Amino acid sequence: MTGKDTAVVDTTQNSKGLDAFRTAEGGFAMLALDQRESLREMFPIAEGADLPDDDVLREFKRVAAGVLTPFATGVLLDRPLGVSTPHRPDWIAEGCGLLLAADVLHSVRGVGVLSTSLDEQVTPELIEGSGAAAIKLLIIWRRDSTEHQQVVADFLAVAEAAGVASFVEGIVRPPVDGAWVDAADRHAAIIEAARELSVGASVYKAEVPGYVPGDVSLVTEQSRLLTSAIDVPWVVLSNGVRAEDFGDAVTAACAGGASGFLAGRAIWADTVGLPDQKDALEKMSVPRLRSFSTIVRESRQSAISRLEG
């Protein structure tokens, strides 16, 4: 079965639990709220003031999830700040699947995530108690490194032991002390990373293939290459995409075989730290999320119609 086929109907052995995240048409319209240090740095900070503490981040996640999960098929939360006890948070809307991040993000302020490791506290017991239907692992991928391979293997073993689906997310980086040759070099790396990291996973989470800021003209073409390269459904993330480009990027990626999105920043980033957080999310983020979800649903319906025709 090809990635293109699984974008519509997924019958692979590692698809257990995915129905919790699907639209009626079989796509994915999922909300990411697993940001940690990157979220902390999004808050406006007065000169000389400290960064917000963990309780501020927890409150943002609680409010954002309460407002947005009624319009998402799934929500991604981390263990330290989003799901700290073996219980499903009561602020997640009924019918919205819970995806639990199983990664530790090693980051540097102002630089971002440099590497990741497996969160050993995300155990089968925590997964079961929280009601999570899947777990997620972020990998920083470089052509010249194989360090991530054991982390991926261990992560897939945890998902198997817990009996849940597995989402692997790849963020590509140039070689250490190196740089991309050009945009095409990075585009190729996104496909290479997907080919490697998707093996054994239920869903692959990719940077938007072929995207450059302000230009989605290559996204459908590159998405088709990614779809042909892997054997599982895949979704796009919004990190690295200008917020004003994300709707067009989702449209183009779905035209090339993507099954939807798992996105955070493009939905809610500009609401962080506003005086009335709930009101800002309702007025600014809900319409975006609903718009992106409509793109996915219409794309999946078109795919189903083509198969039936």
Dist CA 104 CA 118 (whole Å) = 6
* Residues labelled as active-site residues: 205
What residue spans of 172-240 are helical by DSSP H?
183-197, 219-229
Q: Exposed, middle or buried by CB within 10 Å (0-12, 13-18, 19+), for 305?
A: exposed
Three-state secondary structure call for residue 53: coil
Dist CA 281 CA 85 (whole Å) = 26
Q: Which two tokens stand for residue 83?
A: 């799901």
Dist CA 121 CA 118 (whole Å) = 9
What DSSP assignment string belongs to 125-173? HHHHHHT-SEEEEEEEE-TT--THHHHHHHHHHHHHHHT-EEEEEEEE-
Q: Exposed, middle or buried by CB within 10 Å (0-12, 13-18, 19+), for 40?
A: buried
Taking the mean position of all CA atoms in its chain, how far away is CA 226?
16
Taking the mean position of all CA atoms in its chain, how far away is CA 82?
15
